[in-house]
Amino acid sequence: MKKEDIYLDINRKAWNQRTEVHVDSDFYDMPAFVNGKSSLNEIELALLGDISGKTILHLQCHFGQDTISFSRMGAVATGMDLSDKAIEKARELSDRLGTQTRFICCDVYDLPNHLDEQFDIVFTSYGTIGWLPDLAKWAGVVSHFLKPGGRFVFAEFHPVVWMFDNNFEKVQYNYFKSDAIIETEFGTYADVTAPLEHEMVSWNHALSEVVTALIARGLEIHSFNEYDYSPYNCFSGTEEFEPGKFRIIRFGNKVPMVYSLMAVKK
């Protein structure tokens, strides 16, 4: 059996291991979050606008900081993730903070079998679609859960970034989707010194693949932006050139690192 055929099991195990480290990492800064700091960035906040009273579904929410941030902004928020450890931590965090945030543990493709409602907003961000082999199916899930006229808000690392090796010294991977990328990673982006070793299965997705998949499912693109920085210091060889904005030193502002879009269901 090919490893990409059991990618869910492989990736769930990896994210369960990562979660145990992430919740206590400086990267996720849990003390500041518990004391009221939002985990959301200006990129996605600009597209979300006022979400008070809105229903919002957060796909691939990890251990729930962004989802709970939506609740704090007055939204009725639901988060889902593949990792049972992450969802366990998300529920614990919601209870600790007294929010009414709902969390569901399942594969994103299987969510229609676990949830039967539609939302004003569907959201996902930063390092999500690379774990999915089929974007047409993913876009179908997004459309399925949006009310007519509902908005899909999406921020993601740019596929150009994923072309390079970890040290950004050479082009190693195809910009366009090809075979599954099967790697063993040591540590984690939130703590490179963490004593973790895990296998992971992922895929690269070109911008054209993303946009075409959404349009084919009845979503109309209203906004699309590219950024020459990352709001997260999760790559090697970076510098913080402005507060909360990181670039790869050897590339400066010459390559895109993040993109965002907002689409409306017809």
What does the domain layout of the chain look like in residue ranges?
3-265
Check pLDDT > 90 for residue 38: yes
| H or E element in which residue 214 lies | helix 207-216
Number of helices and strands in the chain (H, E): 7, 11
Check pLDDT > 90 for residue 11: yes
Check pLDDT > 90 for residue 205: yes
**How does residue 32 score in pLDDT terms, banded at 50, 70 and 90?**
very high
- The strand pair at 76-81 and 55-58 is best described as parallel
Which pLDDT value is given to residue 224? 98
What residues have CB less than 8 Å from 101, skipping those under 6 apart? 64, 67, 68, 70, 71, 77, 78, 79, 90, 94
- The strand pair at 219-227 and 258-265 is best described as antiparallel
Which pLDDT value is given to residue 72? 98
What residues have CB less than 8 Å from 240, skipping those under 6 apart? 233, 246
Q: Are 258 and 156 in contact (CB under 8 A)?
A: yes
**Per-residue pLDDT tens for 88-106?**
999 999 999 999 999 999 9
Q: What percent of the chain has pLDDT over 90?
A: 100
Q: Are 199 and 10 in contact (CB under 8 A)?
A: yes
Residue labelled with tokens 């082009």: 171
**Per-residue pLDDT tens for 63-97?**
999 999 999 999 999 999 999 999 999 999 999 99
Mean of pLDDT values over 212-222: 98
Whether domain 3-265 has CATH 3.40.50.150: the reply is: yes
Q: Are 103 and 67 in contact (CB under 8 A)?
A: yes
In whole angstroms, what is the distance from residue 226 CA to residue 210 CA?
A: 14
In whole angstroms, what is the distance from residue 82 CA to residue 246 CA?
A: 28
**How does residue 127 score in pLDDT terms, banded at 50, 70 and 90?**
very high
